[in-house]
Structure 1
Amino acid sequence: MDLQDQLKNLFPDHVTSEEEIQETENELWMQHEPMICKFEKRNGKPQTIIEGYTGADEDFKQLAKEIKKLLSVGGSFKDEKIIIQGDYRDKIMQFLKDKGFKVKRVGG
């Protein structure tokens, strides 16, 4: 048992600075206005587009990465929009609602 483990046993409520940094990295800025989730066909291929996030671009890129990983599909982040290949509006909206975002479905 090393010194860090002994300290954790003595002070179980204490959070080290490394754990604080990891907790703040995973937090996304929540907004009051709903994000827009819509479906478009571009060049005959279906795409789901998410827009309307008012936080930092880095947070939006992180959110895009999580969505692509969840659905195992390709996509990109351009012009403050997340573009996901395929029609996954229902799954994406449920994922965003679980994260605490307000989502509005636009179109069919």
Structure 2
Amino acid sequence: MAKLSLSDLGGLVYSTEVGRTCPVCRQAIAACTCNAPKRPAGDGVVRVSRETKGRAGKGVTLVRGVPLIEAELVALGKQLKAACGSGGTVKDGVIEVQGDHVERVMQLLQAQGHKVKRAGG
């Protein structure tokens, strides 16, 4: 069996100067750009719909297709919930606002420069 050197093991993993480092670019984990979040690809249309399925008859407004990374999506969700005076969440890239606020949400998104379509009935 051949003897392995440190470079064969993948390089530097920890440094006392910067802490944990990325094995690919050898930067500090906080400064690593290898796995930088990218904007999701889509058709550029934000779709807003109302749904009650699986929610015991309670209606929610769903916003899909917003081309933002997760942190920006959470901030947008917070803005929409505050403007509608309602609760909600962000799950799997979909903003959910409690209640029937389709028209209000569409106006807010258009004011921010998004191309918006109403989806569903």
TM-score by length of 2: 0.61
Q: Distance in 2 between matches of 1:46 and 1:32?
A: 26
- Amino acid in the other structure paired with 1:38: S
Report how far residue 43 of structure 1 moved: 1.4
**Larger RCO (CA within 8 A; separation ≥ 6):** 1
Q: Distance in 2 between matches of 1:48 and 1:98?
A: 18
1:62 maps to which residue? 75
Q: Work out whether 1:82 is the aligned partner of 2:100.
A: no
Give 1:87-106 correspondences, 5 Å limit. 87-106=100-119
Q: Secondary structure at the match of 2:59?
A: strand
1:107 maps to which residue? 120
The structure number with the bigger radius of gyration is: 2
Cα deviations across residues 17-72 of structure 1 (Å, max 9, x unaligned)?
xxxxxxxxxxxx8x861111011012110010001122211111110000011111
Query: Equivalent of 2:46, from 35, 49, 53?
Result: 35
Q: Distance in 2 between matches of 1:81 and 1:32?
A: 15
CA-atom RMSD in angstroms = 1.6
- Amino acid in the other structure paired with 2:97: I
Q: Distance in 2 between matches of 1:36 and 1:104?
A: 5
Q: Distance in 1 between matches of 2:68 and 2:105?
A: 18
For structure 2, the 5+ residue unaligned runs are 1-38
Cα deviations across residues 62-85 of structure 1 (Å, max 9, x unaligned)?
100000111110000111110110
Question: Identical aligned pairs, as a percentage?
Answer: 34
For structure 1, the 5+ residue unaligned runs are 1-28
- Going by fraction, where is helix more abundant, 1 or 2? 1
Aligned residue pair count: 79
